[in-house]
């Protein structure tokens, strides 16, 4: 009886395990087939949507790129114009500053010359004969002219004329030196 019992038990066990194996395979294959079908469906269904979104974003990106490029192409002459204008303004201001420096320098030189002339004239007007107001080259002639006018009583007129003669002598001296 042991063999019979063993063979029935084996048959029952084989049947039961075969059925469990078939059920498990069916369930696993069914679930796998379900998910495979679901994935295929989703890929098919959403591939069009994904491709449409991809195309839309590519189109939008190309549109924005073209718009920005057009704006940059429009702005480039304006930026070049304003850069050139700024360069012109800075250079013009630099020239104006230089011209003002030259004019102020010339005014300073002119005031120095006028001040020197008046200092010379006033020194001749206040000259008492005790010192030589001009260079030693001209002192002899200056002293003779001043003495002659002093004897006639025209010290002030003599001083002005002496200054004019002195300026004329300086001018002639510079003309002679400048011609060599």
At residue 113, the pLDDT reads 74
Round to whole Å and give the CA distance between 60 and 67. Answer: 10
Specify whether the CB–CB gap between 129 and 145 falls below 8 A: no
Q: Where are the domains of the chain?
A: 127-179
> Is residue 2 scored above 50 in pLDDT?
yes
> Is residue 82 scored above 80 in pLDDT?
yes
At residue 132, the pLDDT reads 46
> CA 31, 34, 39, 40 torsion: positive or negative?
positive
- Residue 154's SS3 state is coil
CB contact set of 132 (below 8 Å; sequence gap of 6+): 139, 142, 143
pLDDT digits (tens, 9 = 90+) for 94-107: 889 888 888 887 88
> Which has the higher per-residue pLDDT, 155 or 19?
19
CB contact set of 149 (below 8 Å; sequence gap of 6+): 155, 157, 158, 159, 161, 162
pLDDT digits (tens, 9 = 90+) for 24-74: 777 777 777 777 777 777 777 777 777 787 888 888 888 888 888 888 888
Q: Is 121 exposed, middle or buried (0-12, 13-18, 19+ CB in 10 A)?
A: middle
> Is residue 109 scored above 50 in pLDDT?
yes
Round to whole Å and give the CA distance between 174 and 1. Answer: 159
> Is residue 174 scored above 60 in pLDDT?
yes
The pTM for the full model equals: 0.34
At residue 48, the pLDDT reads 76
Number of other CB atoms surrounding residue 133 within 10 Å? 18
At residue 127, the pLDDT reads 55
Q: Measured between alpha carbons, how far is residue 7 from residues 16, 17, 93, 113 in Å?
A: 14, 15, 117, 144
> Is residue 4 scored above 70 in pLDDT?
no
At residue 1, the pLDDT reads 52
């Amino acid at each position: 009886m042991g063999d019979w019992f063993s063979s029935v038990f084996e048959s029952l066990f084989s049947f039961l395990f075969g059925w469990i194996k078939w059920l498990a395979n069916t369930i696993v294959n069914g679930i796998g087939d379900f998910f495979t079908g679901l994935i295929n469906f989703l890929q098919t269904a959403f591939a069009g949507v994904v491709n449409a979104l991809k195309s839309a974003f590519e189109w939008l990106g190309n549109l924005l790129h073209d718009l920005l490029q057009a704006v940059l192409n429009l702005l480039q002459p304006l930026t070049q114009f304003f850069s050139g204008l700024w360069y012109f303004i800075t250079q013009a201001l630099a020239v104006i500053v230089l011209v003002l420096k030259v004019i102020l320098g010339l005014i300073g030189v002119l005031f120095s010359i006028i001040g020197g002339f008046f200092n010379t004239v006033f020194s001749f007007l206040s000259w008492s004969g005790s010192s030589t107001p001009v260079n030693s080259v001209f002192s002899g002639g200056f002293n003779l002219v001043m003495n002659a006018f002093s004897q006639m009583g025209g010290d002030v007129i003599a001083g002005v004329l002496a200054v004019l003669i002195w300026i004329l002598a300086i001018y002639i001296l510079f003309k002679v030196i400048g011609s060599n």
